[in-house]
Amino acid sequence: MNKQLRKAVIAGNWKMNKTPEEAKELISAIAPLVKDAGCEVIACTPYVDLYSAQEAAKGTNIQIGAENCHWAESGAFTGEISAKMLSSMGVKIVIIGHSERRQYFGETDATVHDRVRAALDAGLTVILCVGETLTQREQGITDELCAMQTKIALNGVSKEELSRIIIAYEPVWAIGTGKTATAQQANEVCAAIRKTIGALYDSKAADGITIQYGGSMNAGNAAELLAQPDVDGGLIGGASLKPGDFAAIVEAATRG
């Protein structure tokens, strides 16, 4: 299937950066630079920034997303935020399973699955992160690992619901390290994940799903990564905090 028929998505993951006031400034700085984007543009912000980012994004083509959500609708989960809370404030997108959540906050494939379920039930679109550590890559289990993470996360997700899933392939060793997967490595794994979707659903689903690459994507390397046939966009950490760099990545995605 022609890659151009898939939805290209560039999403920023701000991580634990920016106060609400700074969020407003950052969105206002990015907005004029990406107004002619030929791809979807998303900024996923800390919870406390969602409202001011949404206000700043009004009337622009930037969508505001969250960086996580809990699997329960409500209850005794101090410090957590439910998918319903996000959707009730107009948030439509949420990142789930980011490797920093897996690494620092005990996120497992099972809890990723439960959070995906909750997000879909609340009507959200999910950016589902999968990816291998350096050791796993060296052990030659990258494709199996990504297939396993994908299968567990999507267990019970219907074909209709799959239209609200974006997968972000993020090799853990490339996140925030300045080490990028080569364009070939990124494409190989994105293609393998697409194959997994084909096996789980069908070839139409595989052809239609947006699969991003994430891991030290920046203004300099984005064009080559985004030109790959199976790479449909990017999940951007560090560079999403720099308006010019983020806009250059959006421009690269627009060119495809």
Residue 7's closest CA among 125, 136, 184, 170?
125
Instruction: Tell me the Cα Rg of the chain.
Output: 17
Compute the least distance from the CB of residue 199 to ligand PEP, in Å: 26
User: Does 216 help bind ligand PEP (rule: CB under 6 A)?
Assistant: yes
Q: Which stretch binds ligand PEP (CB under 6 A): 29-37, 54-62, 142-150, 234-242?
A: 234-242
The catalytic residue among 40, 70, 98, 132 is 98
DSSP states along 126-161: EEEEE---HHHHHTT-HHHHHHHHHHHHTTT--TTG
Residue 214 CB coordination number (10 Å): 27
Among 124, 217, 248, 250, binds ligand PEP (CB under 6 A): 217
Among 8, 9, 10, 13, binds ligand PEP (CB under 6 A): 13
Active site annotation includes 98: yes
Which amino acid appears at position 140 of this protein? G
Q: Which is nearer to ligand PEP, 130 or 206 (CB)?
A: 130
Interface with ligand PEP: number of residues (CB under 6 A): 14
Between 176 and 220, whose beta carbon lies closer to ligand PEP?
A: 176
Nearer to ligand PEP, 123 or 244 (CB): 244
Closest to 122 measured CA to CA, from 156, 82, 63: 82
Q: Rule CB under 6 A: which of 174-213 touch ligand PEP?
A: 175-176
Q: One symbol per residue from 135 to 174: x for binding ligand PEP (CB under 6 A), - otherwise; what is it? A: -----------------------------------x----
CB contact at 8 A, 98 and 237 = no
Can residue 237 be called a binding residue for ligand PEP (CB under 6 A)? Answer: yes
**Could you tell me if 101 and 69 are in contact, meaning their C-beta atoms sit under 8 angstroms apart?**
no
- CA–CA separation, 44 and 50 (whole Å): 8
For 239, residues 6+ apart whose C-beta sits below 8 A from its C-beta are 217, 218, 219, 245, 246, 249
170 is catalytic: yes
Residues that are catalytic: 98, 170
Q: Which residues in this chain contact ligand PEP in the complex, by CB under 6 A?
A: 13, 15, 170, 175-176, 214-217, 235-239
